[in-house]
Amino acid sequence: MCISNCPYNISSAIVFRLLEIGGWRRSVLMFQKEFAQGLCAQPGDDQYSRISVNTQMLAKTQHLLKVSRNSFRPPPKVDSSVIMLEPLPPRPNLDVNEWDSFVKTVFNRKHRTLGAIFKNKSVLATLAELPSNAAVKDRIKEIVTQTLEAKTITLCRSGHMKVEELLSTMMALREAGIHFL
């Protein structure tokens, strides 16, 4: 078990290092309230973001309690929250770095539809530059469009998609020959 009042300025680094090293069954951690809300946010929440999705891909998150700034002397400028993380079993065939690259791509504009995100010239150019996409370099837009349409998710917005839906989307794109790393 890991219990910590984490330094707020390195919260995300602590969470991802903890998830990376593993070897624990449960962590109870105190963070700045907004950061904790982001970790526990669900699809459709304003705080649902790349950090929500990446954390929830690797761990079950649960908000335990709010801690007022007035609970400390001297009081800090922000409120805090205590959360619990429980690691999930490893996902087979998942490259965590490629996953993060995919999530970064779709959450860079989380209020846009996936169809619009993958029609963006800079997104297409970035994908075309990846050596892993060399074989499909000239057909990336076509392949992505066909894959999204086949999954009927062209009009979905990443900010409203569950982790499993995002994972399924990335895996379908990989099967079609599109990689994110």
* 120 labeled binding residue: no
* 133 labeled binding residue: no
Six-digit token pair at 146?
A: 């066909």
**What dihedral angle (degrees, nearest 10) is formed by the CA atoms of 9, 14, 16, 21?**
160
Q: CA–CA separation, 103 vs 160, rounded Å? A: 13
Pairing state between β 27-32 and 80-87: antiparallel
How many H helices and E strands in the chain?
Answer: 8, 4
Which residues line the annotated binding site for S-adenosyl-L-methionine? Answer: 1, 5
Which residues line the annotated binding site? Answer: 1, 5
